Structure 1
């Protein structure tokens, strides 16, 4: 049985597309225009070109040629709507659900060679993940600002959740990046994932009507979210990806005892040198976010309170940025492999 789609069944359409539903019931039919399909997709253009009709063009419906597709009807509708309503697919910057929202369209855009749509979606996806250290720091500052608002306004669980729900989620991003060969996203997504504990599980912490899907109470989740904890969809992480994350964590922690080597020669004398060693030795040996620890340890506010001379203060700030840039470069090399 066929069920015409209520939005994409045009009376002047000259081709019928039929697609199955995920429920396996009636097939949905779309009455659309050959010229529109052909202008967006060379695959559709070839399908309708004589003299060799496509094998799936084997019947008629409502007086027009019927093409039976094998793609889910919901996904086909999403694709067709981008042809007729280019702004129908709206995405919010940093939406953690973006990988899920664009996956089907990416898949069909690739299958039917709708290159402009494919490139557009990939560009939006890439833009959610920092490509360099400055973009990473900017994103981290935005997260911190939102978190400060929650804590200063004495907000509730929903507002605390909104912080995590307003920024990209790493596990689904890594999965999509691997599936569609978008490696530029991987370093930042992997680094973010490497900062999180397995207990920071997005699917486990989600709430329905205020009730958490985990053994923690809403109050416990609220406390952890207000403390700045973020979540990941750990169920999507493969064993290979988990191994990468663990190896990076170990590599990062191995660097901490050797941090003094990276700052060697930057200060002028014994007093400043002793102060520098003191600061570096306070970096937690078990940290999984060395970029954040170094940014905080040598922030302008912290440097102003340290017992460094004016010359060394400026030099340490510059060296710290070089060290952090080097860590970022090492991280990119590690995860792009």
Structure 2
């Protein structure tokens, strides 16, 4: 029989990439996390992580256990939410901010089940591509995707990693073909995107190879960018979890290494242990992780269908 705390440590290290990151997420010291991982590995009889100077990387065996460990996590959360006396009758309001793409694809579908479990917690969505000031009270929590979180008094729970690649519409691919290298981008129509927080790394890489030609259009919204690409205006950089499952889009490149980013749930330190916040984060975090994995799997199946006809160019040497 495995200790649930050992499984929690396993998932936290897998998500955070190190025992240090896991210790911050779990609120325990790093030695405790390392000891729990060693205990679990001893019980299983094989290594879960390869340790290195930059952190801990899942072994093949460890990676194969993630889905089952997350099933246990979801079951434990459901038990706590439904049977735990402290969480019964939780009420109050939460202001959640995120961008339109994340809200529509991942958050709103999850709110149906969350409302069934917690009918007295009212979630207000503040949909914007602007980074609201959580510390100043512009919202209670945020779901953010970034390459690095800014240092602050906020606390964050990592949801997962995202890759970004270049895409065009099927109609665009038929009319103009698909670029075979970054150098070919100068002969294509490109769609740029820049948020209030600044230019996105993937778009910056793409425009670097435009040959000085301006983008055919530029948007400050990821949702508008996706619609522009699907309409056939040109090639744009889109998160793979969003674009790969979409049959209207054609992947034009492998994931861009410099553009890899992570998603986080962020809130204020004084709010993280309130019953309504804990109920929401404990529900939403595993749901979002499952949604990302499901999208990745749908994307792999869909890309396999395209593989015979369209081969995206590699991007490992994009820099």
Give the alignment's TM-score, normalised by structure 1. 0.26
Higher relative contact order structure (alpha carbons within 8 Å, sequence separation ≥ 6): 2
Q: Which protein is bigger by CA-based radius of gyration?
A: 1
Give the alignment's TM-score, normalised by structure 2. 0.27
Which has the larger share of strand? 2
Which has the larger share of helix? 1
